[in-house]
């Protein structure tokens, strides 16, 4: 059908969560760094961004819960990567360039 459905309260709440995760300079920097390195473990990232580990883990958790990151465990290390589809759903194409490597950028 062609008709646009009226967004519900729930819709707005879902986007609130998505945007809240992006509403922090440090988390945006984290996303950018993760993108740049494709896959990074917490300790390396903590060094790059100069942030205490527990703090970083907190921010990673928010980004993860919002769907912007994925994790893979390797031994004691947790490697984080960008979840492109989720980011693309939310960000304008111009902004995606900040968080993805694309030919067109």
Within residues 51-90, the interface with a copy of itself by CB under 8 A covers: 88-90
| DSSP annotation of 1 | -
- Residue 16 lies near a copy of itself (rule: CB under 8 A): yes
CB of 6 to a copy of itself, least distance (A): 9
Q: Does the CA dihedral 47-53-59-63 come out positive or negative?
A: positive
- Part of the chain binding DNA (CB under 7 A), chosen from 4-12, 23-31, 86-94, 97-105: 23-31
Binding DNA (rule: CB under 7 A), the pick from 49, 71, 90, 96 is: 71
**Residues counted in the chain:** 105
Looking from the CA of 96 toward its CB, the CA atoms found within 13 Å total 16
> Site residues (CB under 8 A) for a copy of itself?
4, 7, 9, 11-13, 15-16, 19-20, 22-26, 28-29, 32, 88-95, 97-98, 105
């Amino acid at each position: 059908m062609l008709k646009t459905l009226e967004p519900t309260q729930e819709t707005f709440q879902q986007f609130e969560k998505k945007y809240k995760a992006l509403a922090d300079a440090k988390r945006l920097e984290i996303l950018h760094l993760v993108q740049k390195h494709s896959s990074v473990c917490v300790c390396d990232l903590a060094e790059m961004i100069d942030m205490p580990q527990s703090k970083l883990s907190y921010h990673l958790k928010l980004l993860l819960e919002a769907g912007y990151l994925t994790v893979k465990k390797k031994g004691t290390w947790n490697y984080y990567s960008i979840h492109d589809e989720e980011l693309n759903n939310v960000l304008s194409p111009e902004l995606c360039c900040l968080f993805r490597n694309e030919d067109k950028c």
